Homo-oligomer: A and B are copies of this chain.
């Protein structure tokens, strides 16, 4: 166990949040009372209450007098909250399922986002996108930096689609990702000749998207993005077992 950091109420919220999302307390169950939790976690009731308030804010629990803190049904959870997302991808298997579903969503959303961006991007935003692409070109030798700027490129496009919901989806998912990364820290991928080559390819595909956007050609931007995502999907060598994620009812 690593050294715990942050305030006590933060630690308590993390601990209890993980327990709930991890299934140690099931929906419909009552958590121990504030007094009992206070005893168990060896913190004051004040701290326990503030932790529970955080969990309630994320829809995980609801406290009522006399009955105590109850785990809410899953449909009440703020599933896209970055903490909930991170707690949902604690072990390796869950994380891989999440990543798999994430790429699926990206392949659904981003091509259309690119189409919208082609129609709606302001000159300023176009320049922004071009700038992030230039940044990618510069760091083609550094895998980590490249990944970061890759993400920035896609974010800039979604931003230019002028749809806050899409943007929100990206931002939350990204936050959940880095949060779960911090758990799985061990940098994931190492650089090989193949991955280096893959980045060169990726660069060309990104350029195609950028060019289409510049010419305000929505259809071509859409196609280029489809192409890009499919290629990246394969190129990364997504060795997921593609196991079915049993639906959460």
Contacts and interface: CB of A to CB of B under 8 A. Distances in A.
Interface stretch (A20-28, A51-59, A228-236): A51-59
Nearest to A245: B162
A50 B57 CA distance: 10
A163 B58 CA distance: 21
A contacts with B: majority SS: helix
Nearest to A174: B75
A247 B162 contact: yes
Interface in A55-88: 56-59, 75, 78-83
A6 to B, nearest CB: 12
Given A58-B57, A112-B108, A79 B171 contact: yes
Nearest to A120: B244
Contact of A165 (B105, B159, B166, B167): B105
A126 interface: no
Contact of A163 (B54, B75, B104, B159): B104
A172 B78 contact: yes
Copies of this chain, how many? 2
B102 A165 contact: yes
A140 interface: no
A34 interface: no
B101 A163 contact: yes
Contact of A105 (B56, B102, B163, B247): B163
A72 B115 CA distance: 31
A164 interface: yes
A15 to B, nearest CB: 15
Interface of A: 9, 13, 46, 49-50, 53-54, 56-59, 75, 78-83, 98, 101-102, 104-105, 108-109, 112-113, 116, 120, 122, 125, 159-160, 162-169, 171-173, 244-245, 247-248
